[in-house]
Amino acid sequence: MSQGKVVLASKQGGHTEAIENGVDGFLFDHDQPSTFFDQLKHIMALEDDEIFAIGERARKKITDKYNYETIYEQKMQAIQAYLDKPAENNNFFPYIRPVPLEADTAKLQLAGSKKGLLSVVIPYYNLGDLLFETLDSVLASNYKNLEVIVIDDGSTDPESLKTLDLVKERYPQVKVIHKPNTGLGDTRNFGAQQATGEFMAVIDADDKIDATYYEKAVRVLEKYENVHFVGCWCQYFGNWTGMWPSFMPEPPFFLVHNTMNSSALIFKRASFLQAGNDPNMAFHGMEDWECIVNMTTKGLTGASLPEPLFHYRIREGSMFRRFTRNKIYHLHAYITNKHSKFYQRYTADIVNILNTNGTGVLTDNPTMEQGYVVRNPIISNRIINKFAVIARKNYYLKKIALKVKRLIS
């Protein structure tokens, strides 16, 4: 249109906002396929002066109404009008579709918890000296009212046990607790019970945080009565340097696919204890997502800070990268069946999401290199990616690769 050309567009694509049918362009209806051909025949039959006039009106509309300067001025006026409004003293976060509070309100006040204290729970199992980077990151936080607890989940590796001894020497302010191996989810629950803070953060023993993360998250938890956990975007480091933009954990979409790194959250500890990580899941890997689904069903809703304040390490051999598709299917089924009554509230929305976007099971976790998901834990992502590049260029290799993929998926 900006070039003075006649445009034929679908009215379902939002083009009706810019095109007035027959005046500065033409529209057809996807629901009536014949309208495309009818409009095309009409355009082809136009005289040259009619085509020129329509094109000129299109160019003038784009130039006058949709140029950068005009749009920028309108946006700035809207922003300024918002800024000029008197501040509202509202202690409730404005969710689009609020979930009513059904949790036991009496249990949301923990007796004996220390006001303002943030307990940082770090589950640890055979991760060697990566723990030092995590601790240095946590202790460098701008939020200084911290209680840091490392929960050793029955480590057996000599180097990892030596690391724990060094932690006790180098970090006297850090508490180290040993327990038998029971898995990541149960270890997080155990840490929550050992903690004494009003707030609780969980962080795996190979990840790091931005110095401002805890301060910003606690500020949100203190301000809004209806926010019970806070997350953020994730910056990857290690074997990959991408980023995971996190979205608000509101139903219905986050019931289809986990929209945030739920292993990097800050909670009101009393709220976490009403849900916790489910120890009955058959496989490890989605306890953290199930936890925030469980919390949300009770009205213990969360929020996401739109900043990359959490640093998530990508490494070979991590738990998530050993997932198979069958395990993912099984855990999705477990979560939806466990919370079936809550899912039923959003049945129509969920069906529409699945029809539009496809299954959430196959929405790849961004930690996977180049978007490829490992379906066989024996084969590394790096090998799969290299083979994929070669296979794309060879017809026969591509056919073989597709057959192999079906076998191991």
**Taking the domains of the chain in order of start, what are their residue ranges?**
8-81, 112-344
**pLDDT at site 370:** 39
Report pLDDT for 393: 62
What is the rounded CA–CA span in Å between residue 292 and residue 263? Answer: 10
Q: Is residue 255 within 8 Å of residue 346, measured between CB atoms?
A: yes
Do 300 and 245 contact (CB within 8 A), yes or no? Answer: no
Q: What is the CATH number of domain 112-344?
A: 3.90.550.10
- Token duo for residue 92: 């409730």
Q: Tens digit of pLDDT per residue, the chain (409 long)? A: 999 999 999 988 778 889 999 999 999 998 899 999 999 999 999 999 999 999 999 999 999 988 888 899 999 999 999 889 887 778 999 999 999 999 888 888 887 899 999 999 999 999 999 999 999 999 999 999 999 999 999 999 999 999 999 999 999 999 999 999 998 889 999 999 999 999 999 999 999 999 999 999 999 999 999 999 999 999 998 877 788 888 899 999 999 988 888 888 999 999 999 988 888 877 777 888 999 999 999 999 999 999 999 999 987 655 555 557 788 888 889 999 999 999 999 999 999 999 988 887 766 554 444 333 333 433 444 555 555 666 566 665 656 666 555 554 4
Backbone angles phi, psi at 240, to 5 degrees: -155, 155
The confidence score (pLDDT) of residue 234 equals 92
The answer to whether 152 touches 163, Cβ cutoff 8 Å, is: no
Spatial distance between the Cα atoms of 217 and 220, rounded to a whole number of angstroms = 5
d(CA 183, CA 253): 28
